[in-house]
Amino acid sequence: MALTTGLASSKSQFHLNANSPKPSRFHHQKPTFSLLPTVRASSSRSSARTTTANNPPSPGKWLVDSWKAKTAHQLPEYPDPNELESILKTLESFPPIVFAGEARTLEDRLAQAAMGNAFLLQGGDCAESFKEFNANNIRDTFRVILQMSVVLMFGGQMPVIKVGRMAGQFAKPRSDPFEEKNGVKLPSYRGDNVNGDAFDEKVRIPDPHRMIRAYTQSVSTLNLLRAFATGGYAAMQRVSHWNLDFTEHSEQGDRYILLPIFSAELRAFFDVHDQEGSYPGGVHLEMTGQNVTECVGGARTITYDDLSSRYHTHCDPRLNASQSLELAFNIAERLRKRRLSSLRSLGVGAM
């Protein structure tokens, strides 16, 4: 789990924003949503570590091929450059998943978070996978993000920008290009759009065709998210009912118990901003809507002995749905205290 004030991330795969012109009336309005995905190809026109364009762009000027003038790390070593080139040309012919207007909208709303007028909630899988791709998994993660956003909205009394690590969260950087087991050394797993996670020589060879599958899966994921966001599934009344049901059936009632390191990190995050007079712009979590057992703690008291029962992540451990929502209540409480403190400093009565 990570708590961060960083408002721009290469792992931001879709954007769902409940927008309101005035925070004081925010909880009375119906949420509206926009979606912003990006597919991370993790490839290049060459397997070389440094790629230079024929005509390097001017310093500070962004162009579509500006990346070619940069030093590239973490590139897969594809065995057939011609096959890679063919796949990249195919991808270039596909329609975009996101449009410039959507990107500019997200940029504007992130600026609001940087100024303390909104709060960013970013979360999702550490790494999406091909074999766990199904409608239920997408729905469950979307649902818990919605639930968390409503909790944070009421705590902070401000818009919540929702960014999901979905619809393109495949490629993973590695600290070592190789993995060794029992004397066998193979290329490291770099995400399902590069190679497979099974410790097998054939599976670990980077395959550019996986990028095509990643694209189609991202399109399907985003289409389903759009349907959920606009078809009534994300209605405020429905989400509020889910949260009420959660609090009524939690084993600890309204007590939310997280592993001490989570609580300490959360407390330090807000304390630093309070001391420096800056804004806690948002949080970034590795989480899922599935009932996994990858992190200890929480109201359901997952212990170290429980981890092996449902440890399904392809990379880093994730908070499950219950733990994610519990954390949202803790964050909301800090946002509420910060808001009330600001009001008192301005001589305004509590709201």
Tokens of 206: 């980077």
Q: Assign residue 297 the CATH number of its domain.
A: 3.20.20.70
Tell me if 215 is assigned to some domain. Answer: no
Task: For residue 221, give the nearest of 79, 125, 332, 108 by alpha carbon.
Answer: 125
Tell me if 196 is assigned to some domain. Answer: no
Residue 135 has phi, psi (to 5 degrees) of -60, -35
Under DSSP, is residue 323 helix (H, G, I), strand (E, B) or coil? helix
Chain-centre distance for alpha carbon 237: 25
Residue 254's pLDDT is 43
First to last CA, the chain: 32
pTM: 0.73
Contact between 90 and 213 under an 8 Å Cβ cutoff? The reply is no
Tell me if 167 is assigned to some domain. Answer: yes
Cα–Cα distance, 141 to 129 (Å, whole number): 14
Tell me if 154 is assigned to some domain. Answer: yes
Tell me if 157 is assigned to some domain. Answer: yes
Q: Tokens 């600290």 label which residue?
A: 175
Contact between 1 and 319 under an 8 Å Cβ cutoff? The reply is yes
Contact between 128 and 85 under an 8 Å Cβ cutoff? The reply is no
Its domain, for residue 151, covers 14-43+97-173+232-345
Cα–Cα distance, 35 to 105 (Å, whole number): 10
Contact between 27 and 154 under an 8 Å Cβ cutoff? The reply is yes
Angle, helices 135-156/236-249, rounded to nearest 10 degrees: 90
Residue 311's pLDDT is 55
Quote the number of domains for the chain. Answer: 1
Contact between 256 and 295 under an 8 Å Cβ cutoff? The reply is no
**CB-based contacts of 243: which residues, under 8 Å, 6+ apart?**
147, 150, 151, 325
Per-residue pLDDT of the chain (351 residues; tens, 9 = 90+): 434 333 333 333 344 433 333 333 333 333 333 333 333 434 444 444 444 445 555 567 888 888 888 888 888 999 999 999 999 999 999 999 888 898 999 999 999 999 999 999 999 888 899 998 999 999 999 999 999 999 999 988 999 999 988 999 899 888 999 999 999 999 999 999 999 999 999 999 999 999 999 999 999 999 999 999 988 888 888 888 888 777 666 654 444 445 555 678 888 999 999 999 899 999 988 877 767 665 655 656 665 555 555 555 566 677 888 888 888 988 999 999 888 887 787 776 554
Tell me if 314 is assigned to some domain. Answer: yes
Residue 158's pLDDT is 92
DSSP 8-state secondary structure symbol assigned to residue 68: G
How many CA atoms does the CB half-sphere of 303 hold within 13 Å? 1
* Known binding-site positions: 126, 165
Tell me if 216 is assigned to some domain. Answer: no
Contact between 172 and 315 under an 8 Å Cβ cutoff? The reply is yes
* Known binding-site positions for phosphoenolpyruvate: 126, 165
Tell me if 64 is assigned to some domain. Answer: no
Residue 40's pLDDT is 41
